[in-house]
Amino acid sequence: MAAIPDHDVVHGADHAHDHHLTGLMRWLTTTNHKDIGTLYLWFSFIMFLTGGVMALTIRAELFQPGLQIVNPEFFNQLTTMHGLIMVFGAIMPAFVGFANWQIPMMIGAPDMAFARMNNWSFWLLPPAALLLITSFFAPGGAAAGGWTFYPPLSVQMGIGMDMMIFAIHILGASSIMGSINIITTILNMRAPGMTLMKMPMFVWTWLITAYLLVLVMPVLAGVVTMLLTDRNFGTNFFNAAGGGDPVLFQHVFWFFGHPEVYIMILPSFGIVSEVIPTFSRKPLFGYSSMVYATASIAILSCIVWAHHMFTAGMPAVGQLFFMYGTMLIAVPTGVKVFNWTATMWRGSMTFETPMLFSIGFIFLFVIGGFSGVVCAIVPIDVQVQDTYYVIAHFHYVLVSGSLFAIFAGAYYWLPKWTGHMYDETLGKWHFWLSMFFFNLTFFVQHFLGLAGMPRRIPDYALQFADFNMISSIGAFGFGTTQLLFLYVVLKCICGGAKAPQRPWEGAKTLEWTLPSPAPYHTFETPPLVK
C-alpha cells in the first residue's frame, strides 16, 4: 500500500501548482492561504461598497420628509438587503480573509489544514451574493421587513424570498467549512512549543469565533428551512392559522442572531489586541484574562438571545433572566477595555493609522456598549424597541466596532501583505474623516430614537426632519471617505515605499506570553539607589 504523502509535501505540490497557473485560473484553483485571504478581502470590500450604496439610497430617501426617491416596497427591500449584505457579505468574509492570511503565519503552520476546502468555502460566496442581489429583480423581491425576515410577512413574499433563503444556506455552508478549517488548523498545526496559552490573541479570538459559528450556523440553516417548507410545502411551523407560532421563529432566529453579533466582534478584539501592544511598545496587559474574557463573552452570548424580544410577550421571570444575562456580558467586555487601556498606560505610544483606528474602536465601541446596557433594561427597551435608538446602538458596535478594527488590521498588515508601505498621511485623513462622519451619521440617531422615530420607515413626521438631514449628510461623507481607503490600498499595492524588515519603527517583536513589566517604582523621579 502506497505511503500517504505528508502534509508539507502535499502543500508544496499545491503551491507549486498555484505558481504554474496564471491569470484567472490561478485565482479559481488556488489552495494558497494567502491568495484565498486576498480573495476574501476583495470580495468583502466589493460587498461593503454594494451594501453602502444601498445605505446611501436609504439615507437619501430620509434626507427630508415625504417620499422622494424610492417607493416604500423598494425601501423595505433596501433595508433587508443592506443588513444581509453587510453582515454576511462584508464583515464576516473580511474577518475570514484576515484569518486565512494571518493564522498559519502566526502559529507556524505551512497552510490551512484543508487547503482545497478553503478554496471551495470562498467560491461559494460569489454565487450566494449574486443570488442575494438578483432577488431584487424577482417578483415581490426580498422585502421581508429587515435582515431578520420575520414571518408572517416572510411567508407571504414572492420567489425573491426563496432566492434569499437559498443564498443564506450557501453563505452558512461557506462559514461552517471555513470554521472547521480554522479550528483544525489551530488545534493540530501549531509549531512545536506553541501551547494554546502562547498563541497570539488574534488566533485565540478566531478559535472561539469558529466554535461559535459551528454552533449557531446550523440553527440558522434549520430556521430558514422551516420557513422554506412553510412557504412551499404546506407546513405550519410559523403560521398561526395552522397552529404554528410566529414567535417561535424569533426564538430560533435570535438563538443564531445574537451569537452572530459576537462572531462579528470577537475577531475585532483580536486585531486590536495585536495592534495596541505594537504601538504602545509593551506586551499585552493581562493576556490570560483576555483569553478567559473572550471565552466568557462567547458562552454568555448563547444565553441572552431573547433580549431582542422583550416586546414579543414574555413572562416577567424570563425578562429578568435575559436582562441580567445581557448586563453580565458587560463584565468580560469591561475586562478587555481595561486591559487595552492598561497596555497603553505608560507605553511609548505612537499614533500611526492602525493605532488611531484601534483607539477610535475602543472609544466608540464603549459608547455602543453603554447604549447596549440601556437596551438591556426591560422597561427602557420596551420604549426604544424598533426605534432609531436601536439602529444607533448596533451601528456603534458594528461600524465603529467591526469595521474600524478591519481598517486597523488592514493598515497594520498591509506592509506584510504587499511589501510596500501605505501613504501614512492619507491613512490618517481616512481615519479622521471616518471618525467625524460616522459620529455625525449615527450619534444623532440616538436622539431620533428617544423621540420615537420608528425604524424601517421611508417617511416620517416633520419633527424628525433636522436630525435626519444631519444623519444623511454624515452618511454621504462617510461613504465617500471609504473611496479614499480604496485609493490608499491600491496605491500601496501598486508600489508605495518599500516596507522595511520591521515596518513599525521601534515596535520590537514581543513575546505574547510576557506579563506586562511592572514599573520599578511609582514616582516621577528616580528613587535613591541604596
**Active-site residue flag, 148:** no
Catalytic residue among 26, 455, 456, 491: 455
Instruction: Look at the block and give the residue holding cell 467586555.
Output: 333
Contact residues for 474 (Cβ-Cβ < 8 A; gap 6+): 437, 438, 439, 440, 441, 442, 444
Residue 24 lies in a domain: yes
pLDDT of residue 504: 84
Within 10 Å of residue 181's Cβ, how many Cβ atoms?
Answer: 25
420 forms beta bridges with 498
- Which of 31, 79, 80, 175 is labelled catalytic? 175
111 included as an active-site residue: yes
Residue 82 is a catalytic residue = yes
Residue 258 known to be catalytic: yes
| Choice among 11, 15, 33, 82 that is catalytic | 82
Cell triple for 357: 483606528
| Residue 309 resides in a domain | yes
3-state secondary structure of 237: coil
Out of 38, 44, 80, 174, pick the active-site residue.
174
**pTM for this one?**
0.91
Residue bearing cell 449584505: 85
pLDDT classification of 520: cutoffs 50, 70, 90: very low
- Kindly provide the b/e burial profile for residues 435-463, where b requires at least 16 CB atoms within 10 angstroms of the residue's own CB: bebbbbbbbbbbbbbbeebebebbebeee
Catalytic residue among 258, 393, 420, 446: 258
In a domain, 524, yes or no: no
Structural domain includes residue 527: no
For the question of residue 251 being annotated catalytic, the response is no
User: Active site residue: 169, 231, 308, 446, which one?
Assistant: 308
Q: Domain for residue 64, yes or no?
A: yes
Q: pLDDT, tens digit, for every residue of 396-436?
A: 999 999 999 999 999 999 999 999 999 999 999 999 999 99
The answer to the question of residue 197 being in a domain is yes
pLDDT tens column, 148-198: 989 988 888 889 999 999 999 999 999 999 999 999 999 999 999 999 999
CATH number at residue 191: 1.20.210.10
Question: Domain range for residue 412?
Answer: 12-513
Cα separations in angstroms, 47 against 118, 270, 293: 20, 23, 31
Element housing 518 (H / E): none
By three-state DSSP, how is residue 420 classified? strand
Question: Which of 50, 154, 268, 273 does the annotation list as catalytic?
Answer: 273
Cα-Cα-Cα-Cα torsion 473, 476, 481, 487, nearest 10 degrees, comes to -150
Query: Is residue 258 pLDDT above 70, yes or no?
Result: yes
User: Does residue 37 register a pLDDT over 80?
Assistant: yes
- pLDDT-derived band of residue 5, with 50, 70 and 90 as boundaries? very low
Q: Which of 426, 422, 425, 427 is nearest to 499 (CA)?
A: 422
pLDDT at 522 > cutoff 90:
no
Confidence of residue 7 (pLDDT cuts 50, 70, 90): very low
**Of the residues 190, 231, 307, 430, which is catalytic?**
307
Is 526 domain-assigned? no
Would you say 284 and 277 are in contact if contact means Cβ atoms under 8 Å apart?
A: yes
CB 343 within 8 A of CB 397: no
Q: Look up residue 13 and give its three cell numbers.
A: 505540490
Is 308 noted as a catalytic residue in this protein?
A: yes
Choosing from 27, 101, 147, 413, the catalytic residue is: 147
Residue 360 lies in a domain: yes
Least confidently predicted of 7-21, 69-83, 112-126, 328-342: 7-21
User: How many domains are there within the chain?
Assistant: 1
Q: State residue 15's pLDDT score.
A: 52
44 classed as catalytic: no
Which is catalytic among the residues 336, 393, 395, 430? 336
Q: Is 455 a catalytic residue?
A: yes
